[in-house]
Amino acid sequence: MAAQTETPAFTSYVALGDSFTEGLNDPDPEGGFAGWADRLARLLAEGRPRTPEGPYDFRYANLAVRGRLLDQIVEEQVPRIQQMQPDLVSFTAGGNDILRPGSDPDEVAERFEAAAARLRDSAGTVLICTGFDTRDTPVLKHLRGKIATYNAHLRAIADRNDLAVTDIWALRTLRDRQAWSEDRLHLSPEGHQRVALLAARALGLDTAEAPDAPWPATPVHTPAELRRENLHWAREHLLPWVGRRLRGESSGDAVSAKRPDLLPLG
């Protein structure tokens, strides 16, 4: 975790979303996943005093579940915010909708804004994230225009509703292969850390580490090695992902929220 010299006065945080916010492919010591939201919660908590019992004077919940579409997040997760009344909510949704054939980013954005307005009534601060720049990502690079359109809507929604924005599209270090896990669909642990740092700065936290710091040098692959790597990725990750969508299945069908209650962060 990065050191910090200034901490916003947040005492509670609830994360909403899909696999990105659940933290897929960022293993935690207990056998689950951490992810950028857990890392952001830790950054915020470390600026708070500890209670006599030991945990920080900071509560955190993560309701995100992999594979969830925007309407599912709105139905299952958004109503919990009215009950919890946290100081901070992160709301990242719509990415899975945009990836679906025939989806309309204009229409998805309308539904997103309606949900964001609901959250503003029940939380002190709402933080949203733009989508990734997929220019260098196989297959997904063809959706770059749709993602850019959706991002333009998200920035306008933030302006109209006074939301904080983590501008992931603009974070060029995430276009490096080291930011991504083997499946190329979810971030690596260091990629999640970069997003956590960017989110912290969007909230006014001064972090010692920079989200756009250069990556360490890596070996240069030959064209033949890259082809073998791409074939392995397509066989092991892309085809199963496409197959689930053709069958109408989701990787989160049997998954529940990893941290469903707003509890002190130890």
Asked if 18 and 68 count as a contact pair (C-beta separation under 8 A), the reply is: yes
Residue 7 has pLDDT above 60, yes or no: no
Is pLDDT at 246 greater than 70 in this prediction?
no
> Is 60 exceeded by the pLDDT of residue 2?
no
Q: What is the mean pLDDT of residues 182-188?
A: 87
In this predicted structure, what is the pLDDT of residue 136? Answer: 81
Domain with residue 225: its CATH number is: 3.40.50.1110
Note the pLDDT of residue 248: 65
Are residues 132 and 150 in contact, defined by beta-carbon separation less than 8 angstroms? Answer: no
Residue 57 has pLDDT above 60, yes or no: yes
> Over the stretch 12-36, which tens digit does the pLDDT of each residue have?
999 999 999 999 999 998 889 999 9
Asked if pLDDT for residue 150 goes beyond 50, the answer is yes
Terminal C-alpha separation, the chain: 15
| Total structural domains within the chain | 1
Residue range of the domain that includes 252: 4-264
For 60-116, how does the pLDDT look when each residue is reduced to its tens digit (9 = 90+)? 999 999 999 999 999 999 999 999 999 999 999 999 999 888 999 999 999 999 999
**Which pairing describes strands 164-166 and 125-129: parallel, antiparallel, or unpaired?**
parallel
> Looking at residue 4, what is its pLDDT?
43
Q: HSE on the CB side for 106, CA within 13 Å?
A: 0
Predicted pLDDT at 266? 76
Taking all residues of the chain, what is their mean pLDDT, rounded to a whole number?
89
Contact 89, 62 (CB under 8 A): no
Residue 6 has pLDDT above 80, yes or no: no
Residue 188 in tokens: 């690596």
Residue 179 confidence (pLDDT) above 60: yes
C-alpha distances in angstroms, 135 versus 8, 143, 224? Answer: 34, 9, 22
Tokens 């993560």, residue? 62
Element (H, E) at 129: strand 125-129
